[in-house]
Amino acid sequence: MSHHFDTDAARDDSRLNVLDMYLFRGSTPDTTAMILTSNPDAGIFAPLTLHPEGLYAFRFDLDGDGREEVSFKFSFDEPFHIDGSADEHGQNFTVTRATAADAVNGGPGEVLVQGTVGQERESDGVRAYVGKAAELWAADAFGFFTVVNGLFQEDRFATEAFDHKANLFKNRNNMATVLEVPNSMIGSGTVGAWATASLHGHAPETQVYRWGLPLFTHLFLSDPATPGLADRYRTSVPANDTADFGEVVESFITTMSRHAGKIADPETYGRETAKRLIPAVLPYEIGTEAEFTLDRFNGRPLGTDAFDIMLTLGAGTPVADGVSPDAPRARAEFPYVGLPYDDTEQSGLRPLRELIGLDY
C-alpha cells in the first residue's frame, strides 16, 4: 500500500511486490524517465537484490487499445557474493526493449544496457539504475483501512481515523528500478503506461503483478462483495479493464461519494469519475512536464501525495491523512529516486510484514 504485500506472490517473495510507478520528462526534453519500485523494507528486512527469474517491465500502449506496443524489461542474474562475503551480495541486470509481439511476452528484445545493482549505467543515450531508495509513498495505512471498512461494515465515512497522522512507511527503503530513454524509443503524443512483474525462467512468462494507478486495488476494488477482482486485475491487461472492473469501480465511487455527502448526484459522479480510472493506466504526453493532480493525470512525478489525491477523487470532497511523502529526498539528477535512509534513521523500525500481520 500503495501496493505493499497485496498478492500471494508478493507475500511469499517481497522482491515481486511492485509498489509504485513514476513517469516524467527526463534530464532533457527529448528523454523520458520511468521508475518502478519494489521489495519493501529493502536492506533491513528484505534483500538488496531482485528475483533472478523475475521480469520487471514498463509497458506502453501507443494507440489506445489497452495493449502494449513497446516494453522495456529488466531481467536479473543470480546474486553473487561480493569479495567472498557471506552477507554482501551483488547482482547483474539486463535491460531490453521489445516491440510488437515481443513487447507482450517473454524476454526477447534488443539489449539496451547491462549493469550491476547499485551502479548507474549508460549506453547510447539510455541510462539505467537499480538500487536501494527511500520510500516516497506516504500513508496512514491503518487509518485507510478503517475508512474503507467503515464504508461497507458501518455504512459511514470514518475519516476521523486519519486524526492519528501516522505514516506507516516513514523512513523505509525499497528497491528502485530506473530507466531513462530517448523519447524516440517510446513514441509521441499521449501514451498509456503501466508496470508489471512476471516470473520468466524455464517456464513461459507468468504475470504476477500489475501496477497502473495508485491505490487502484486497495481503494477502488475494495468492495468485499467482489473479493476476487483484485487478483484478476494483477494478472490482467488494460484491454479487459472496462469489462472486468468498470461497473465495480463506478459503484465504489458512487458509494464513497454518497457517504462523504458532498456530491449532489453520486451516481453521475461515479460514472464520470470511473472514466478517468478505466483502463487503469497512467496517461502521459511524451516530452511534457509530468503532473499528477486531482484535475489531471499526466505521468507521475516523484513526491506527489497520490494517496490524498486518490481518496479525494473517490470521495468527491477533500480527504487528507495528515502525512506526506519525504519529497526533499528525491534527487534532481538521475537516478532521481530518494536518497536511502541510513541505519540511524531506520533505528527501531519493525518489519512492514509484521505490522500488517503477515507471517514470514
pLDDT tens-place string over residues 129-163: 999 999 999 999 999 999 999 999 999 999 999 99
pLDDT value for 360: 33
Asked if the structure places residue 1 within a domain, the reply is: no
- State residue 359's pLDDT score: 43
Confidence of residue 106 (pLDDT cuts 50, 70, 90): confident
Within a domain: residue 358? no
pLDDT score, position 255: 98
- Report how far residue 265's alpha carbon sits from residue 288's, in angstroms, rounded to the nearest whole number: 35
* Structural domain contains residue 21: yes
- The pLDDT of 100-115, averaged and rounded, is 92
Strands (DSSP E) along the chain, which ranges? 18-25, 31-38, 54-61, 70-76, 80-81, 89-90, 92-99, 110-116, 121-123, 126-134, 173-182, 190-199, 206-211, 282-285, 291-292, 297-298
- What CA–CA distance (Å, rounded) separates 316 from 41? 33
The DSSP symbol for 171 reads T
pLDDT at 9 over 70: no
Domain membership flag for residue 236: yes
Of the pLDDT bands very low, low, confident and very high (cuts 50, 70, 90), residue 253 is: very high
Could you write out the DSSP letters of every residue in 276-345?
A: HHSS--EEEETTSPPEE-SS-EESB-TT--HHHHHHHHHHTS----S----GGGS-SSTT-SBPPP-TTT
pLDDT of residue 87 exceeding 70, the answer is no
Domain range enclosing 103: 8-344
Residue 360 within a domain: no
Torsion of CA 176, 346, 40, 142, to 10 degrees: -130
Choose between 85 and 316: higher pLDDT: 316
pLDDT digits (tens, 9 = 90+) for 188-223: 999 999 999 999 987 788 999 999 999 999 999 999
Tell whether the model's pLDDT for residue 13 goes beyond 60: yes
Q: What is the pLDDT of residue 89?
A: 82
Are the CB atoms for 351 and 136 separated by under 8 Å?
A: no
In terms of Cβ atoms closer than 10 Å to its own Cβ (0-12, 13-18, 19+), residue 24 is buried
Assign 315 a pLDDT band (cuts: 50, 70, 90): very high
Q: How confident is the model at residue 85 (pLDDT cuts 50, 70, 90)?
A: low
The answer to whether residue 354 is domain-embedded is: no
The pLDDT tens digits for 27-79 are: 999 999 999 999 999 999 999 999 999 999 999 999 999 999 999 999 999 99
Average pLDDT value for the chain: 94
Domain count for the chain, please give it: 1
Is the pLDDT at 10 greater than 50, yes or no?
A: no
C-alpha cell of 257?
Answer: 461519494
Residues 105 and 98: their CA atoms lie apart, in Å, by 9
Kindly state whether residue 105 falls inside one of the protein's structural domains: yes
pLDDT band at 82 (very low <50, low <70, confident <90, very high): confident
- Give the global pTM: 0.94
The pLDDT assigned to 3 comes to 45
Residue pair 241/71 in contact by the 8 Å Cβ criterion: no
Residue with cell string 512525478:
301
In whole angstroms, how large is the CA radius of gyration of the chain? 20
- Is residue 148 within 8 A of residue 222, CB to CB? The reply is yes
Residues 167, 18: Cα–Cα separation, whole Å: 19
Q: How confident is the model at residue 7 (pLDDT cuts 50, 70, 90)?
A: very low
- Tens digits of residue pLDDT in 268-289: 999 999 999 999 999 999 999 9
Using alpha carbons, list the distances in angstroms from residue 237 to 59, 68, 194, 226, 268: 10, 9, 10, 19, 27
Amino acid at 191: V
Q: Is the pLDDT of residue 99 over 50?
A: yes
Task: Look at residue 252 and tell me if it is in a domain.
Answer: yes
In the three-class reduction of DSSP (H, G, I as helix; E, B as strand; rest coil), residue 274 is classed as helix
